[in-house]
């Protein structure tokens, strides 16, 4: 489903800084899960302890796609963001990891790239850094097809009001999704399996994180 994007002026703090920072965290193969309901994304929930290995993530913004707005990135910026998510060995570890069969229907999330990407990014911030995600800044989200001529957005870039900027890769849906923060500094890239319950709860299980 293509996203319509109105031309917007990109402010300096929203502009991707693709040369800033270095990867901050070591690779890990720890499994962690988080959950988010499609019906009540606006409910704020307190993250659980890391020792429990799981976390419930609520969308604290309560923003719709229209309220989040869109902004236009240059083609070179889009490609640079995609390159930051690329694996030099073509994600062989992910390819060799069998996809878990889903117990529920996630088609509603998968047909809404913007909403899905927001859920992935919120989960990434909450689970990996024990932070409550801030609101996405006005006109602070951009989604686009990763391949020329594509009609379905499968890459998104989110600028949060607290200065966190996160790239989300949906290219391998329905197999797995990926997220990586590039501001306030470059962080690790994490890969997640996902599933949905009959009630619409979206859950993530970490496959791995790497610099």
The pLDDT score that the predictor gives to residue 199 is 85
pLDDT tens string 124-177: 999 999 999 999 999 999 999 999 899 999 999 999 999 999 999 999 999 999
pLDDT for residue 185 is more than 50: yes
pLDDT in the model for residue 173: 95
Q: Does the pLDDT at position 60 exceed 70?
A: no
Confidence class of residue 91 from pLDDT cuts 50, 70 and 90?
low
Please, what's the b/e burial string for 19-50 (b: 16 or more CB within 10 A of its CB; e: otherwise)?
eeeeeeeeeeeeebbbbbbbeebeeebebeee
Question: Does residue 18 have a pLDDT over 70?
Answer: no
**pLDDT reported for residue 45:** 35
Give just the sign of the alpha carbon dihedral 14, 79, 6, 151: negative
Q: Among 34-48, 103-117, 160-174, where is mean pLDDT lowest?
A: 34-48
pLDDT at residue 73, rounded to an integer: 81
**pLDDT category of residue 190 using cuts at 50, 70 and 90:** very high
d(CA 34, CA 205): 7
What is d(CA 22, CA 171) in angstroms, rounded to the nearest whole number? 24
Choose between 57 and 18: higher pLDDT: 18
Distance CA 17, CA 184 (A): 10
Who wins on pLDDT, 45 or 116? 116
């Amino acid at each position: 489903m293509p996203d319509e994007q109105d031309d917007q002026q990109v402010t300096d703090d929203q502009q991707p800084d693709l040369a800033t920072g270095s990867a901050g965290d070591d690779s890990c193969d720890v499994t962690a899960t988080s959950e988010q309901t499609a019906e009540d994304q606006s409910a704020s929930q307190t993250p659980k302890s890391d020792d429990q290995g799981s976390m419930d993530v609520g969308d604290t913004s309560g923003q719709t796609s229209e309220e989040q707005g869109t902004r236009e990135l240059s083609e070179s910026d889009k490609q640079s963001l995609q390159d930051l998510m690329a694996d030099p060995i073509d994600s062989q570890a992910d390819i060799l990891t069998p996809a878990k069969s889903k117990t529920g229907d996630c088609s509603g999330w998968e047909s809404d790239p913007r909403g899905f990407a927001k859920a992935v990014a919120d989960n990434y911030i909450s689970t990996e850094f024990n932070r409550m995600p801030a609101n996405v800044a006005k006109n602070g989200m951009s989604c686009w097809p990763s391949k020329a001529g594509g009609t379905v957005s499968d890459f998104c870039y989110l600028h949060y009001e607290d200065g966190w900027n996160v790239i989300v890769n949906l290219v391998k849906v329905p197999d797995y999704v990926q997220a990586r923060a590039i501001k306030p500094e470059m962080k690790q890239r994490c890969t997640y399996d996902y599933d949905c319950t009959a009630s619409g709860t979206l859950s993530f299980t970490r496959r791995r994180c790497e610099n």
